[in-house]
Amino acid sequence: MPYVHRTAQGEIDSLHRQPLPGATEFLSNDHPQVRRFVGHEDAPASFAELDAAFVRVAEDLIDSLLMKNVIAITDLPAQAQAKLFARKNFRDKLSGKALQLFPDSLFSEVIDDTGFGPL
């Protein structure tokens, strides 16, 4: 199951166990259109997807607080700074639009971040 019958607009209007005239297309039970027709909504986003979206919100919030001088980057714990810098560097490579926390300096080569541990 099910063989589907469609309207002229291509929407499913009935499901059948056997092929019938006008209903010869077979779709699996878990096909999104079949699930939607029988009233099953798509599964909500996984917790990991929700976490990833929330991380982006938190990062944007931190950016806003930094830009408004509500907090300084040095107010954050060292581990948080390291993770934030790692995400900023990654986003910079992807988009080139991330907030630059510190202006470029000639000292970037002498800053040792190995003490921050794994990111």
Task: Please give the average pLDDT of every successive group of 10 residues along the chain, which has 119 residues.
Answer: 86 89 88 84 68 86 91 92 86 64 54 60
Question: Which pLDDT does position 111 carry in this prediction?
Answer: 54
| C-alpha to C-alpha distance for 102 and 16, rounded to whole angstroms | 64
Most distant CA atoms of the chain, gap in Å? 76
Is the pTM higher than 0.95? The answer reads no
Point out which residues pair with 110 in neighbouring strands: none
Return the DSSP state at 20: B
Q: pLDDT tens, 86-114?
A: 888 887 777 655 555 655 555 545 555 56
C-alpha distances in Å from residue 29, one per residue of 15, 23, 42: 10, 15, 13
Query: Across all residues in the chain, what is the average pLDDT?
Result: 79
For residue 13, what is the enclosing H or E element?
A: strand 12-16
